Amino acid sequence: MSVPEREFRMDDSNQPELTLDGSVGGGQYFRSALSFSVLTGRDVEIRDVRGARENPGLKPQHVAAAEALSSIANAETDGVERGSRTVSFHPSEVQPGRYAVDIETAGSVPLVVDAVLPLSLVTPGPVRLQVTGGTDVKWSPPLSYLRRVKLPLLREAGVLASVDVGRRGFYPVGGGEVTLLIGPSKLTPLSLDESGERRGLRALSTASEDLTEADVAERLADTAIERIGDDWTVLERTVTYVDSDSTGAVVVLVTEHAPETGESSGTGESSGTGESSAEIEAGFEPTCRFGASALGEPGVPAERVAGDAVDALREPIDAGATVDVHLADQLLPFLAVAGGRFRAPRLSEHLETHLKLLEQFGAAVEWTERDDGTVDVSATGNSPDRW
């Protein structure tokens, strides 16, 4: 089953402007509201942006995401500037082409990419976006999580997207360069009912070149592999040192689980869906993946950082979930369009606010919190112009 093809112009929407309370969430709420505005063609006004945060209003990474979306969707905007607490956004059609945005700080590049990625559901042609900023920073899944957990799963479901890395950027300078390429995508339902049998573990460790002599990247990867235990077959151990304007290190752990039926197509970082059109039409089930990460910090031993990543990885697996806490909210727009279901390890703030935001846009996504704290999320799937 796949989402029906349709002719859809985003400026065809006759719905009234949607007024949203930005104080109920943070930057993720703001970015998603603009993404959904582009998907549905519905004008939005977001008031009191990040109003409940210690430093309310737009930060550089939020401005960058809004600028990227407004450029690609040829939107009229008001209030897209640092510190602004009210933003109006009036999208038109997505325009294929080349775009670039500079966060100008170490603000999160992956979160800007996440805001633009759903446009693959409505773009009529290729969109190429270069983003400059922080690739591996706090309060955001790092770049390797995006490339090795989220994107492979979405590509198996039919999303045409790739992310190329020009340079890594750590806090506080940033300076990382990443290019996102998306194309018109036809999705199959995200049917993540069971995690399936354990296939193996991938440990991906990256550090700035000035940490080479201290073997930081090796220690991160090796400690994580040691602490995860003998239950996992190590499929990959990748240790990389990179040129970066700031000292930094990150470890990303990925577990893969065999689908209940069929075999996975692979797990690399290549472009394209990774599946043939025939497999997509047949309803190919994505390989269940869990990801977790931890960032190095001055004065904190690499072994402790790796241990934190292992603890985070165990949470969704031990809970019997089928996605980790980050995928749970990041998959929602694709679930709303394609349909399907998954089980989240818990009702995080991001998941709850994202679900309620989709509801305000009219997307039919249902969720139930179970007695054990896990959350079942499902959708029948519908084109964004019919939300």
Does 327 carry a binding-site annotation? yes
Residue type, 102: D
Region of 94 (left: φ > 0; alpha: ψ -120 to 50; beta: rest) is beta
Q: Which of 89, 106, 111 is nearest to 34 (CA)?
A: 89
Select from 97, 150, 138 the least CA-distant residue to 324. 150
Q: CB–CB of 87/114 below 8 Å?
A: no
Dihedral, CA of residue 379, residue 383, residue 384 and residue 387, to nearest 10: -60
Task: Check: CB of residue 32 under 8 Å from CB of residue 115.
Answer: yes
Do the beta carbons of residue 107 and residue 81 sit within 8 Å? no
Q: What are the structure tokens assigned to 185, written together?
A: 């995508």
Q: Which class for 12: exposed (0-12), middle (13-18), buried (19 or more C-beta within 10 A)?
A: exposed
Quickly count: other Cβ atoms within 10 Å of residue 19's Cβ: 12
Angstrom distance (rounded) from CA 47 to CA 44: 10
Please tell me the number of Cα atoms within 13 Å of 184 on its side-chain side. Answer: 11
Residue 293 pairs in a beta bridge with: 252
220 is in an annotated binding site: no
326 annotated binding-site participant:
yes
Please say if 90 is a catalytic residue. no
For residues 239 and 217, the answer to whether their CB atoms sit within 8 Å is: yes
Residue with tokens 């549905």: 40
Look up tokens 């069929």; give the residue: 262
CA distances to 152, 171, 267, 306, 382 from 3, rounded to whole Å, are 19, 40, 24, 40, 7
- Of 90, 257, 350, 354, which residue is the catalytic one? 350
Given a contact cutoff of 8 angstroms between Cβ atoms, the answer to whether 253 and 293 are in contact is: yes
136 is in an annotated binding site: no
Which tokens sit at 19?
Answer: 């007024």
Helices of type H across 15-150: 27-40, 60-72, 109-116, 143-145
Q: Which residues are annotated as a binding site?
A: 114, 326-330
Q: Which residues are annotated as a binding site for ATP?
A: 114, 326-330
Catalytic residue list: 350
